[in-house]
Structure 1
Amino acid sequence: MGPRRTHRKSRNGCQSCKARKVKCDEARPQCNNCVKHGVDCIFSPTPQGSSTAMVLSTTAGVVDISETSIASPMPTVDMTDMELLHHYSTSTCYTISKHPVLQTVWQITIPKHGFAPQSQFVFRGILALAALHMGHIKPDLRADYFATAEYHHNAALKMVSTAIPHINEETGPAIYVFSTLTCIIMCAMRRNFDEFWTTDGSLFKWISLIRGNRAIIYSINDTLKSGPLAPMFVLGHRRKLAREARSTDDQPFLENLRQEIIESVPDQDELQCYLEALDNLAKSFATVFDTQLVEITDVFIWVYEASDGYIELLRQQRPEALVIFGFFCVISKQLESAWWMEGFSIPLIRAIYYHLDEEHRYWLQWPIQQLGWAPY
């Protein structure tokens, strides 16, 4: 006997028939089922010069994508921005905080503020921070990413400048988010700390920005503490209460500085500003030395709560004010595991050191030793 013949069923056939789950006779130029039901057949030839229609088979049936839908103008997508947004949501957002809840806020909640038409400055801020992070990861492309970050951040600053005078319950949270982003961006964008005390003034812009958040919080306090950003404030309040409860007794390095300042400052108002700054600094030292996971709040709260009097003395480059800020560098060092704070403390204390006379340089010996820096 010869080989047994089997009937092969065609694996082809018209997609319209398959979608209707009927047998296709594969007749050309159109199958009979399509002719019967009055639908376009895949076997039907397309006349030259006519527009192309695409038929997609789905579980719901046949979907016709006509020329009009294909030819409609489509918005362009900036793939560079998409890359930065993807990088932010998969990497950068996890570098801002070590707390799992706050990481989720930075990944999920913060970007939502950037999608509203009136607060796209947040979206630009996110792109700027992501670009700086990419530049940190890819040093050979750092200049390009830095330029991208500057472009987005400058555009955001123009947008937010028109929103700040009209801050309200609706726009306030986005402005607060952008202000916080900008504090981080300025740390990541710093170039030359030696300029902080002279022409550039970046340090005081950064300080003013941190302290400026107080006005935003006060103006929309209830909205921030009850809205989507509430976890940031709930956890921040808990850390502040723990900070206030810690003992500051065993800090001889600050006691020595306190005595030096008391003996050298005759003006009582000025002296009071320094002593308040030292009391507040003692709480920060107690916090960072007794905390495994140091958060932004633990470090920046000292700048946030410093008196206007002390900040003005710092702006005037009074030696006692500069020395106190030099001690703060030991605290800021605790955040340098984050890429955007990396290399922050030593260049800053170096800039302070070379703005002091010989006597006050000796006052900086303890923070210099803690940071492992040697004057040259």
Structure 2
Amino acid sequence: MIASMDLDMDTGTPLAAPTPAKASRRTHAKTRTGCKTCKSRKIKCDEEKPQCRNCTKHNVSCDYLHAPSPRHNGSTLSPECSGRLNMADLELLHHYTTSTYATLTDNIALRDFYRCTYVELGLRCEYIMRTIFALAALHLAHYRPSMRSHYLSLAAEHHQIASREALAAMNQLGPDTAPNLFIFSALTVFYAFGSPRKEHANDILFFDTTTSGVPDWIFLLRGSFALVKTLSVEERQKGPLAPVFGSGRDSWNAREAMAAAPDPDSERASRLDALEGFLSRPREHVPAHHRAVYLHWLHELRKSMRHNDQALGDATVFMWLFDFPDEVLPLLKQPTQEVLLILAHFVVLLDRMSARWWVQGWAAHLMGRIWSLLEDEYKIWVRWPMEQLGWVPP
């Protein structure tokens, strides 16, 4: 059977079959921010977060739940967020818990404390977490020079916000806020050292004598010591910071016990004996009570030097600062020649830690600043510190 068809009545030839009308295509607004699963299936994504409806309906993974971190491009890094995640902050937290924490102390037991307990407390106190971010950013800036400006910017932003919040918390100082403020102070000491050094003419020991007076890091150390005193004995022994206080107490007791024995380093002993004799000598421009302060401070520094021979670490290096009298603080506002001599000998202790990223370069920098502020008659008394550092005047 031949199928019937339409013919041209004039020619008898078959007529062409009519072209069927094309169905109209429904259009919709395109989106460039939908999930990858919808894009691969070429369907519209409703962009609902944390998981779009299409992925929920088909029980498949939505890439909103596994957002990639922003890519590095040259010297900048966009702090983009995927959903509610701040990938720049997550990078800093990851770096702190995998690397930065281990650079803060040689005490293996305290390393886990820095890595775990500080972060756990930071989850309940924003200014602690921001200080952790700031410290991690400085660490990354030190080892990634191509992105230095980016990480320094992150560090400054986080620490400025943390400082404002911590300052507000100090107005309500008590057993609940003291532990958090202690952690902030301790981490900020590392931050002060790790920050870029200033080269101003009046810059000495991380501060500008024309504006701020007492060095920030000394103020923080003294402040942290005062915060400890506000805690009860039970809090210090059983609270979250007990490992830090226990380690500090053990180091302090060992330092005091070691100070009773003669110094095995005879050259160091003779140099410090000579300096002690010079500082104790009556001089017209030096009040007697100032001489007593200088001698006490030098005595505490000598004990830390002795202890540091066997227990290298940041606690040992800075421990002598916890017990110097408050009368020294006004003297630091306009550093006297005698204070500069004592600080020059402290630089020898600081140089022992120069392998750490946050201390690198500080010993030579401080010796240079001290040398520039010393009068000629006092420079002879810093020859020994200069020899220990191998530092040569410009």
Answer yes or no: same fold by TM over 0.5.
yes
Structure 2 counterpart of 1:191, from 190, 193, 197: 197
Corresponding residue number in structure 2 for 1:159: 165
Contact map agreement 2:213 2:334 (CA 8 A) in 1: no
Deviation, 1:339, is 0.7
Corresponding residue number in structure 2 for 1:98: 106
Deviation, 1:314, is 3.0
Deviates more, 1:201-210 or 1:327-336: 201-210
Structure 1 unpaired stretches of 5+: 1-46, 58-63, 66-73
Contact map agreement 2:282 2:288 (CA 8 A) in 1: no
Q: Does the C-alpha gap of structure 1 residues 277 and 48 become closer, same or farther in structure 2, counting only changes over 3 Å?
A: closer
Give the letter for the 2:363 counterpart.
S
Deviation, 1:91, is 0.3
Equivalent pairs counted in the alignment come to: 312
**More helix as a share of residues:** 1
TM-score, normalised on structure 2? 0.74
Contact map agreement 1:173 1:224 (CA 8 A) in 2: no
SS of residue paired to 1:364:
helix
Contact map agreement 2:301 2:320 (CA 8 A) in 1: yes
Q: Does the C-alpha gap of structure 1 residues 201 and 252 become closer, same or farther in structure 2, counting only changes over 3 Å?
A: farther
TM-score, normalised on structure 1? 0.78
Deviates more, 1:92-101 or 1:240-249: 240-249
Contact map agreement 2:209 2:334 (CA 8 A) in 1: no
Superposed structure 1 runs of 4+ greater than 3 Å apart: 47-53, 197-203
Give the letter for the 2:103 counterpart.
T
The yes-or-no answer on 1:353 pairing with 2:364 is no
Measure, in 2, the Cα distance between the counterparts of 1:128 and 1:191: 16
Corresponding residue number in structure 2 for 1:17: none
Measure, in 2, the Cα distance between the counterparts of 1:82 and 1:129: 14
Deviation, 1:75, is 5.2
Deviation, 1:55, is 4.2
Deviates more, 1:267-276 or 1:307-316: 307-316
Structure 2 counterpart of 1:76, from 69, 84, 94: 84
Give the letter for the 1:80 counterpart.
A
SS of residue paired to 2:215:
helix
Contact map agreement 1:314 1:322 (CA 8 A) in 2: no
Structure 2 counterpart of 1:215, from 226, 232, 256: 226
Q: Does the C-alpha gap of structure 1 residues 131 and 342 become closer, same or farther in structure 2, counting only changes over 3 Å?
A: same
Deviation, 1:49, is 11
SS of residue paired to 1:375:
coil
The yes-or-no answer on 1:110 pairing with 2:112 is no
Corresponding residue number in structure 2 for 1:344: 362
Measure, in 2, the Cα distance between the counterparts of 1:169 and 1:301: 24
Measure, in 2, the Cα distance between the counterparts of 1:200 and 1:372: 32
Q: CA RMSD in A?
A: 2.4
Cα displacement string for residues 283-305 of structure 1 (whole angstroms, at most 9, x for unaligned residues): 011011233xx121101111222
The yes-or-no answer on 1:315 pairing with 2:318 is no
Identity of paired residues, percent?
Answer: 30
Deviation, 1:155, is 0.7
Measure, in 1, the Cα distance between the counterparts of 2:341 and 2:262: 19
Structure 2 counterpart of 1:236, from 248, 270, 285: 248
Deviates more, 1:199-208 or 1:253-262: 199-208
Corresponding residue number in structure 1 for 2:127: 121
Structure 2 unpaired stretches of 5+: 1-42, 47-52, 63-81
Contact map agreement 2:214 2:333 (CA 8 A) in 1: no
Q: Does the C-alpha gap of structure 1 residues 48 and 356 become closer, same or farther in structure 2, counting only changes over 3 Å?
A: closer
